[in-house]
Structure 1
Amino acid sequence: MSLIPLAAAAAAQVHEPIYWVNLHLSNYLFKIGSFELRWYSLAYLAGIVLGYWHLTRMIKAPGAPMAQRHADDLFFYCTLGIILGGRLGYATFYTGGNSDIPSMWLHPTELVQLWHGGMSFHGGLIGVLLALAWVSWRNGLNFLRVADYIAVCVPFGMMFGRLANFVNGELWGRVTDASVPWAMVFPDAGPLPRHPSQLYEAGLEGLLMIVVMLLLFWKTRARFRPGLMVGVFTVGIGCARFIVEFYRQPDAQLAEFARNTGLSMGQWLTIPLIALGLFFVLRALMKPALASGRPASAAAA
Structure 2
Amino acid sequence: MLAMIPFPDISPEIFSIEIGNFTFALRWYALAYIAGFLAAWAIVVALMKRPVLWGREAAPMAPGMVEGLLTWVIIGVILGGRLGFVLFYQPGYYLRNPVEILFIWQGGMAFHGGLAGAALAGWLFARRHSVAPMRLADAMAVSVPVGLFLGRIANFINAELWGRPTTMPWGVIFPGPAAQSCPWGWEGPCARHPTQLYEAGLEGLVLGLVLAWLVWRRGALKLPGLTLGVFLAGYGLSRFVVEFWREADAQFITPDNPLGHVIRLGDLGLSMGQLLSLPMILLGLGLILWARRGAPAGPPRAG
Please report the TM-score for the alignment, with normalisation by the length of structure 2: 0.85
Matches within 5 A, 1:61-140: 61-62=50-51, 63=54, 64-97=59-92, 102=93, 104-140=94-130
Q: Is contact 2:10-2:157 (8 Å) kept?
A: yes
Alignment partner for residue 184 of structure 1, among 153, 157, 172?
172
Q: Distance in 1 between matches of 2:284 and 2:123?
A: 18
1:43 pairs with 21, 29, 32, which one?
32
Partner of 1:158: helix, strand, or coil?
A: helix
Match of 1:30 among 15, 23, 26: 15
- 2:3 aligned residue: 16
Alpha-carbon distance between aligned partners in 1 of 2:96 and 2:39, rounded to the nearest angstrom:
36
**Unmatched 5+ stretches in structure 1:** 1-11, 291-301
Query: Which residue identity is paired with 1:95?
Result: Q
Contact residue 70 and residue 135 of structure 1 kept, 8 A? no
Deviations 1:160-187 (A, max 9, x none): 000000001111100111xx11101111
More helix by share: 1
Corresponding letter in the other structure for 1:280: L
Query: Partners in 2 of 1:69 and 1:139 — Cα distance?
Result: 13
User: Residue in 1 aligned with 2:300?
Assistant: none
Identity %: 45
Q: Is the 8 A contact 1:55 1:153 kept in 2?
A: yes
CA distance in structure 1 between the partners assigned to 2:146 and 2:109 by the alignment? 17
1:163 aligned residue: 153
Q: Which whole-Å CA distance do the structure 1 matches of 2:10 and 2:157 have between them?
A: 6
Structure showing greater Rg = 1
**Would you say the 8 A contact 2:152–2:196 is kept in 1?**
yes
Question: Number of residue pairs matched?
Answer: 268
1:285 aligns with 2:272: no
Alignment-mate amino acid for residue 192 of structure 2: R
Are the counterparts in 1 of residues 263 and 271 from structure 2 also a CA contact under 8 Å?
Answer: no
**Which amino acid is the alignment partner of residue 276 of structure 1?**
L
Match of 2:142 among 152, 168, 171: 152
Please identify, of 250-259 and 70-79, the stretch whose mean Cα deviation from structure 2 is larger.
250-259
Gaps of 5+ in 2: 181-188, 298-303
Q: Deviations over 1:226-249 (max 9, x none)?
A: 000000000000000001101110
In the TM superposition, residue 259 of structure 1 has moved relative to its aligned partner by 6.7
- State the one-letter code of the partner of 1:43: A
TM-fit CA distance, 1:108: 3.3
The 1:30–1:66 alpha-carbon spacing in structure 2 relative to 1, beyond 3 Å, is same
Superposed CA RMSD in Å reads 1.5
Which position in structure 1 is the counterpart of 2:223? 225
Residue 68 of structure 2 aligns to a residue in which SS?
Answer: helix
> How far off is 1:210 after superposition?
1.0
Q: Partners in 1 of 2:85 and 2:46 — Cα distance? A: 33
One of 57, 61, 76 as aligned partner of 2:46: 57
Residue type at the aligned position of 2:11:
S
Structure-2 separation of matches of 1:44 and 1:222? 27
**TM-fit CA distance, 1:70:** 2.5
**Does 1:269 pair with 2:276?**
yes
Alignment deviations for residues 53-107 of structure 1 (CA, whole Å, 9 cap, x no partner)? 111111011131111232112111111111111001000000135xxxx1x2443
